[in-house]
Every structure is written in structure tokens, then in C-alpha cells.
Amino acid sequence: MLSSYRSVAICNVLGLLVVLLQSGCSPQGFAGTTGTVQGKLTRKGVPLNAGTIVTFVSFEGFAASGETDSDGAFQLMFRGAENIPVSHYRIQLAPARINQSGHFEMDADLRKALKEESRACPFPEKYGASATSDLEFAVREGDNLPLIIDIE
């Protein structure tokens, strides 16, 4: 009887492994079709502050982000790689600051300060959330043309 339980357990484990392999698990957790996205973020043709975070959010729950340099250029990353799942994305922006260790971060205090003093934020508040942003982009397989985001 013990051997029949062991056989069932082994079958269950093997079945689970087959399901995981067929579902597209990879070291990054995604093995579907991907594309790469790089671009430039400007406001009325002028690059925004270096360190502005550009985030793509899909309805499937994928999120890819990149940080602008002084020219407004960015490269999107998904789970540490440039390959982003093919999907339709809403785009949101976040201002960044440098903390004492030299890393960029966004914290609750900065968000509060930006709401209190809208001129400190280099872009309209609607771009701060994917739910309110009207910026959208469809990532296609392979290299996508350099994306130019010029906000009002």
C-alpha cells in the first residue's frame, strides 16, 4: 500500500513539472514572445530631469521600467533584462531623487511634497499612475522603433 502512495506522489510531482514546463517558466519567469524598447522622454521637446522613471504597465500585470539620462533617453528593463513581454501597455512616470547612497528612489515623503507643490514635479500629475495616464504603447516582437514620448 505504501508503494501505491509513493507511485501516486511521484506521478503528481511529474505532472506538476510538466505543467510548469508547458506554462513557459524560465529563469526570469516568462518565456513568451518579447520585444525591446528604448526611447526618449521630453516635455514640449525638452528632456525631463535625469532619473525620471518611465514604467510600462500591462493589463496582464507585466511591468517594465527604465530611468532617463540627461538627454531623456531610457532603456526599458523587465526582471533585469531588456526583453519585455509583447503586450499593450499604459505608461506612467515618476520623478526621482538621489539619496545619500547615490541610488535613485521614490518615497512617500517625496510624493507628498510633489502633490503639495505641483511646480516641483516636471510633468502633470495624471502621468503619475497608469490608471490616469493617457500614454499607451504596444510592444511588438523584436526591436521596437525608438519611442519618443513628448508630454504636454
Q: Is there a single domain that holds both residue 62 and residue 135?
A: yes
Q: pLDDT grade, residue 141 (50/70/90)? A: very high
- State the pLDDT confidence band at 9, using cuts at 50, 70 and 90: very low
CATH number of the domain residue 95 falls in: 2.60.40.10
The answer to whether residues 95 and 53 belong to one domain is: yes
Together in a domain, 36 and 69: yes
Rounded to whole angstroms, the Cα distance separating 1 from 8 reads: 11
pTM over 0.85: no
pLDDT interval class at 66 (50, 70, 90): very high
Kindly state the cell numbers that stand for 27. 529563469
128: which 3 cell numbers?
503619475
Residues 20 and 36 in one domain: no
Candidate from 29-33, 73-77, 143-147 with smallest mean pLDDT: 29-33
Q: Are residues 76 and 146 in the same domain?
A: yes
Burial of 64 by CB count in 10 Å (0-12 exposed, 13-18 middle, 19+ buried)? buried
User: How many structural domains does the chain have?
Assistant: 2
Helix, strand and coil percent figures for the chain, each rounded to 5: 25, 35, 40
Q: Return the C-alpha cell found at 70.
A: 540627461
> Which pLDDT does position 31 carry in this prediction?
84
Residue 34: band (very low, low, confident or very high) from pLDDT cuts 50, 70, 90:
very high
- Residue 6 sits in which domain range? 1-31
Q: Which three cell numbers stand for residue 28?
A: 526570469
